[in-house]
Structure 1
Amino acid sequence: MPTASKSTFQLDRYDAEAIARYYRGKPLQVWWRCLAIFLPMLWLFLKLRWDKRTGQVAQKGKQRAAQLRKLLTRLGPAFIKIGQALSTRPDIVPPVYMDELAQLQDHLPAFPNEIAFQFIREELGGDPHEVYAEISDNPIAAASLGQVYKGRLHTGEQVAIKVQRPDIVAGIALDMYILRGISAWMMKSFKFIRSNLVGILEEFAFRIFEEMDYTHEGENAEKFAKYYGHGQIDEIYVPCIYWKYTAKRVLTMEWIEGIKLTDIEGVKASGFDSRHIIEVGVQCSLRQLLDYGFFHADPHPGNLLVMTDGKLAYLDFGMMSSVSAEQRFGLIEAIVHLVNRDFDALSKDYVRLGFLSSDVNFEGIVPALAEVFNPPPGKSLTEMDFKGMTDKLSQIMYDYPFQVPAYYALIIRSLVTLEGIALSVDRNFKVLAVAYPYVANRLLTDRSPELRMALKDVLFRDGSFRWNRLENLLSNAQTNQDYSLKQTVDQVSDFLLSERGEFMRDRLVDELVKGIEETALKRIPNPFSKDKPKAKSSETEESGLDHAANIWSILQKDQKIDPLEFLPLAGKILLKPETQAVGRNIISQLAQRAMTRVIREIALRGTSVSEPQVAIPQPSESSSNASKSVEVETLPKSPSSGSSSAAYGSFNTAPNVNQKPLSKEPVALVSSPSSSSSPMRRQVNGRSW
């Protein structure tokens, strides 16, 4: 009966120095493994060199990528995981290899039951048939790190029992030791390698060692449930962990009956809306990435099940990752800049997120980003295919000095997987169309200073308030399932009336005063003019007041508005000193503008009365021209003086025998002589009139 050999090498977590110390004393084992790895690798490399020499790189690219995928599968668990990681690294491998490596299957033949049951005895302290009321005779699934049995507890609950492969820690540690040495040598020898290969490998090794500790996976599952399941998102379910039956090499969790999310016909036959379930998955992914920053890094179709009650269940929490608060805020800002097509700001976001160094030349990068993200004519960005965009972006990241952070690669993998499943349900599904309303809602309701500054950047440009951006944010936020009008009004007003919102508050007051004044001038007669107020032209630019009316119209579309619910909030807002200061500021500015306008009108009217304009006719040189029409110069009409006393048009002159001949200067309309500062003075042939 086969039994597991007692490995002398055990590690609780990845430690490069400890691994190096151990394998320096086993040179024969290291060299034997090196031959097993690098002989087939060398053969594949020679084929690639021959393709380049014969000019067949593009023609045979897909074939070579498939050969690499098969080779990694033969080399075992560590290389399968590495291949899967490389499938999301556009800064390291070309797009054709990324597509092929994404097809790597995390499946290996099962190992003997006797070894699995031996591990259960060692970890849980009893025979498997005594620890569990029932356990299947054979595994129901086998993966690279372990295999799964179905069982039942003595209390009646059905469970999934995951048991680790034998010698997996020692084998992966040896591969990491060899690959780390090769990565360090390549970085020193090949200057064109931009990425930190050693850093990438060590981060990957840290993750895979965490995945091999099943107690860590159990903790991940409970943390995931706390943030996103069990009442946080109603349609998300996370299986329970049974800690009494869980240890480092054995994990016992609730058995989930369900249908794979990719089984579209099975989901439909069960009476569920596949598209809605996909949208729930996208919403959950967005919360993972942007709310708490703790996300499932391996959401392949086998880890997502549709349960019998229609909920979406997440499985396998061995590979999780996290995004810092700064990175989350940076991602939200990048999405906003992307939707608003502000590619210069987007390139700066890539610096903040760690994709580019601050001294990089953006001259070629910004146009390249615009080419990728500018939607075709007649389409918006949210209507574009997400994978298509990421494929184009991958080519840019391969061509330019990008270094893709590991967390970003995992995010892209997560969203591309979800969109791929969604497209099998609905060919018109667009992940960005589902994602942007969530981002808009976060931008409007989040209290963090970073997102408040992002909101300010979105709504203002060169000191001008961009009302259309606010209307767009509100319209999109309303379509998000977490949207709350009360929360939006509460938090936006809270920010506007805070010290940090003073700039936005002042600009909004200016826009509202300008809008009220423009509306009043169009509708209220001018007492100094006989002209009637002009009706608003359809081509006239909308004022701030018009935009405010549009926003109110958008808010009224929310059918969940309860006026009584808003009374306490309205009272709270109105009683704030800042609100009262805003009201006084608006009234004061309107009064000042009105008084200034009245004084200007009176001054202009007084000027037109005290300084009458006269026309000086020029006599013709011959009597035959005595009746010619003499043109009169017209002065520009004051924009606010209505119809002034200026003369317009032309008049006829007749000979006057008593009139003395005048200078033969051009006819001009001038004011009567006045002080040199008179605005009505004119220069005629160098003389002042």
Structure 2
Amino acid sequence: MSAKTISPTDRPIDVEVVPENSALVPVVTPSVSQIAIAPEHKPELRYEPIALAAYYKRRPLQVLRRIFTILTPTLSFAFGLWLDSKRGVVVKNDQRRAVQLRQLLTRLGPAYIKIGQALSTRPDLVPPVYLEELTRLQDQLPAFPNEIAYQFIEEELGALPEDIYSELSPQPIAAASLGQVYKGKLKSTGEEVAVKVQRPDLREGITIDLYILRRLAGWAQRNFKRVRSDLVGILDELGDRIFEEMDYIHEGQNAERFFQLYGNMKDVYVPNIYWEYTNRRVLTMEWINGTKLTNTAELSAQGINARYLIEVGVQCSLRQLLEHGFFHADPHPGNLLATTDGKLAYLDFGMMSEIKPPQRYGLIEAIVHVVNRDFEGLAKDYVKLDFLSPETDLTPIIPAFARVFADAEGASVADLNIKSITDELSALMYEYPFRVPPYYALIIRSLVTLEGIAIYIDPNFKVLSEAYPYVSKRLLTDPAPQLRASLQDLLFKEGTFRWNRLENLLKNARNNQDYDLNVVLNQGLEFLSSDRGAFIRDRVVDEIVKGVDALGRNALHNFTYLLRERVGLTAINETPSASIEQQQTLEHIKRIFNILQETRGFDAKQLVPQLAQLVVNPGVQRLGQQVSSLLVQKAIARLIREFLAPEEVVVNPSQRKLPA
């Protein structure tokens, strides 16, 4: 279904600009009539913790009432933990207490549900057994009355619901911590839509809880030495994210940005936003008729290949995480649907995050170090990625990394399971002084969730195996200095070129749907001919010369044999034996050429124009001259040895012949 929408680029959105020092004044009274805020008094879009603190310091009774509401069930839970410790049954009761914590957070409301979800990806703060249980925390709450939802629609959109929608479902089809969703039909066009309406009292409830928790985090940080992470910073990051989720204009803009970056991918679908029917607390989005990927029986009945759609999801996630950096942080089964025409539709763009280029390149560098089993390099990557402070002693951490990836011994890293690696890394991060950056926590949430869906569909599905072709393609085609350095680390060991690694890279890269052989050849030659590629160039030239030299030895021997025979010199027609190293190099070159020939899109005729452009490149010409010069030197030396100074030369007068 293609819907006609008005995007922010078609008409300006009335979004106020918030001054840096503006105060956030939440709505205090809970009645519906007072929640309807006049335009000039709308709450700010940004989370401002300083202004928030100033606001609630003037309202101590309101804060105390909320603290009392929180403390009653929390102290009961804490007392249970204390009893376990006194009785020596902490380990025995860990699982039961983790379940109780999940239930407690659900009862305390939206802010605590969001905090629990955030903690489920914080192995530096939470023991592994609690991490596992918090991943089951469901973002579901009872629905609020339709009358309130209808009033919000009227207040936000300036018209009665029946004037905008010819139909609205009698009850919400879903109710979460921040809002609930109705299925509707636009009166103007008859198109089916999803109408998302925010909960009442949400901003007030969220802000007071964030204020209380921020003060508690500051106290814990000052008084507990074991706390290594910046708890206040983590709370502020969470506050920013929740405030973004509470602004449905921001969510709509996220959806449009997601479409611009990934909507052109094959079989990826992003629903349209109806901007004329969207505001801060109401979002109208195209309705997607689809099936959850986990409903394999229904998908099979429709003739839809669920495994293929998971592969599409993995490729889209890789683009999100490692290419553009803007990613969907909550790809749970309800947010990924198979459309009736067999595409993968993404829903719910409230929880998005972004990875900056240095972090994206750092993740790829870390992957290369894992493949190389360079755990010292991996530990340094974690310092660069802000998991460890620069002054951290890496000595005990390096062997700990080796233990985490010990299961990969004798097997490909691509065959490992993300969840198992994450679990082991979580235990490691809880034991050593790691601090998990917020972006990484959301990456893990995204990948583990996606892998969970994939394994449900196909227990043998390996996300890392599906991801490796993309990583190989990036290493071969991305001109970024960081990735060129990673490619060098991958291909060379102690100055020796590892042909098998290049073969594996080319084999894996050709399986990626966006792989372009012309780009690889073009950028590869340009890089080798540049100053940045000097280290690799000198060694690659040596390897090429070895291979071509070995290939030419037979031809040269045959030529000199015929020539000596012609002039009457005794010639022994035995093929000269190349060294083992030369034979191996020659075999690698042959295999690589075969891989290139078998690669999708390989066409010698189409490569001619590319090569014609490259040969006039001064750097490429210098590279060619370097190779040809070394080959000529070797050929002349061999010609002299073979023809003028053979090991055994016997003159046989009866065989001497005059030149013809």
**Given residue 381 of structure 1, which amino acid in structure 2 is its aligned partner?**
V
CA contact (8 A) 1:132 1:151 kept: yes
Supply the distance in 2 between the matched residues of 1:491 and 1:597 (Cα, whole angstroms): 34
Give 2:202's aligned residue: 168
**Given residue 236 of structure 1, which amino acid in structure 2 is its aligned partner?**
V
Tell me if 1:31 matches 2:31. no
Supply the distance in 1 between the matched residues of 2:534 and 2:421 (Cα, whole angstroms): 38
Please give the TM-score of this superposition, normalised by the length of structure 2.
0.87
**Given residue 577 of structure 1, which amino acid in structure 2 is its aligned partner?**
P
**Given residue 218 of structure 2, which amino acid in structure 1 is its aligned partner?**
A
Give 1:40's aligned residue: 73
- The within-5 A match list for 1:389-400 is 389-400=421-432
Supply the distance in 1 between the matched residues of 2:322 and 2:157 (Cα, whole angstroms): 38
Q: Decide whether aligned partners of structure 1 residues 368 and 110 sit closer, same or farther in structure 2, where only a CA change above 3 A counts.
A: same
Give the superposition deviation at 1:263. Answer: 1.2
SS of equivalent to 1:503: helix
Deviations 1:147-175 (A, max 9, x none): 11111112111111111111101110000
CA contact (8 A) 2:330 2:446 kept: yes
CA contact (8 A) 1:524 1:533 kept: no
Q: Decide whether aligned partners of structure 1 residues 529 and 68 sit closer, same or farther in structure 2, where only a CA change above 3 A counts.
A: farther
Q: Which shifted more, 133-142 or 145-154?
A: 133-142
Deviations 1:234-268 (A, max 9, x none): 21111100011111011111011111122121111
Q: Decide whether aligned partners of structure 1 residues 3 and 25 sit closer, same or farther in structure 2, where only a CA change above 3 A counts.
A: closer
Supply the distance in 1 between the matched residues of 2:638 and 2:576 (Cα, whole angstroms): 18
**Given residue 164 of structure 1, which amino acid in structure 2 is its aligned partner?**
Q
Give 1:227's aligned residue: 261
Give 1:584's aligned residue: 625
Q: Decide whether aligned partners of structure 1 residues 375 and 420 sit closer, same or farther in structure 2, where only a CA change above 3 A counts.
A: same
Supply the distance in 1 between the matched residues of 2:571 and 2:619 (Cα, whole angstroms): 39
Deviation >4 Å, runs of 4+: 518-537, 539-543, 593-603, 641-644
Give 1:103's aligned residue: 136
Q: Decide whether aligned partners of structure 1 residues 598 and 259 sit closer, same or farther in structure 2, where only a CA change above 3 A counts.
A: closer
1:193 pairs with one of 221, 227, 231: 227
Give the superposition deviation at 1:88. Answer: 0.8
CA contact (8 A) 2:550 2:583 kept: no
Give the superposition deviation at 1:308. Answer: 0.5
SS of equivalent to 2:205: helix
Supply the distance in 2 between the matched residues of 1:405 and 1:128 (Cα, whole angstroms): 43
Give the superposition deviation at 1:449. Answer: 2.6
Give the superposition deviation at 1:405. Answer: 0.8
CA contact (8 A) 1:218 1:241 kept: yes
Supply the distance in 1 between the matched residues of 2:481 and 2:499 (Cα, whole angstroms): 22
CA contact (8 A) 1:3 1:118 kept: no
**Given residue 352 of structure 1, which amino acid in structure 2 is its aligned partner?**
K
Give 1:470's aligned residue: 502
Tell me if 1:375 matches 2:407. yes
Supply the distance in 2 between the matched residues of 1:37 and 1:191 (Cα, whole angstroms): 25
CA contact (8 A) 1:531 1:642 kept: no
SS of equivalent to 1:259: strand
Give the superposition deviation at 1:135. Answer: 2.0
Give the superposition deviation at 1:550. Answer: 1.8
Give the superposition deviation at 1:518. Answer: 4.5
Q: State the identity as a percent.
A: 55
**Given residue 165 of structure 1, which amino acid in structure 2 is its aligned partner?**
R
1:178 pairs with one of 209, 212, 232: 212
Give 1:574's aligned residue: 615
**Given residue 156 of structure 2, which amino acid in structure 1 is its aligned partner?**
E
Give 1:561's aligned residue: 602
CA contact (8 A) 2:254 2:349 kept: yes
Give the superposition deviation at 1:141. Answer: 1.4
CA contact (8 A) 2:400 2:428 kept: yes
Supply the distance in 2 between the matched residues of 1:599 and 1:261 (Cα, whole angstroms): 70
- The within-5 A match list for 1:307-386 is 307-376=339-408, 378-386=410-418
Supply the distance in 2 between the matched residues of 1:546 and 1:574 (Cα, whole angstroms): 26
Q: Decide whether aligned partners of structure 1 residues 353 and 383 sit closer, same or farther in structure 2, where only a CA change above 3 A counts.
A: same
Give 1:202's aligned residue: 236
Q: Which has the larger radius of gyration?
A: 1
RMSD after superposition: 2.5
Please give the TM-score of this superposition, normalised by the length of structure 1.
0.83
Tell me if 1:4 matches 2:38. no
Supply the distance in 2 between the matched residues of 1:439 and 1:297 (Cα, whole angstroms): 20
SS of equivalent to 1:151: strand
* Structure with more contact order per residue of length (Cα contacts < 8 Å, sep ≥ 6): 2
Supply the distance in 1 between the matched residues of 2:502 and 2:587 (Cα, whole angstroms): 13
CA contact (8 A) 2:491 2:499 kept: yes
- The within-5 A match list for 1:589-668 is 589-593=630-634
CA contact (8 A) 2:294 2:333 kept: yes
CA contact (8 A) 2:550 2:582 kept: no
CA contact (8 A) 1:522 1:536 kept: no
**Given residue 574 of structure 1, which amino acid in structure 2 is its aligned partner?**
V
Tell me if 1:503 matches 2:531. no
Give 1:214's aligned residue: 248
**Given residue 489 of structure 2, which amino acid in structure 1 is its aligned partner?**
D
Give the superposition deviation at 1:47. Answer: 1.5
Supply the distance in 2 between the matched residues of 1:308 and 1:437 (Cα, whole angstroms): 29
SS of equivalent to 2:407: coil
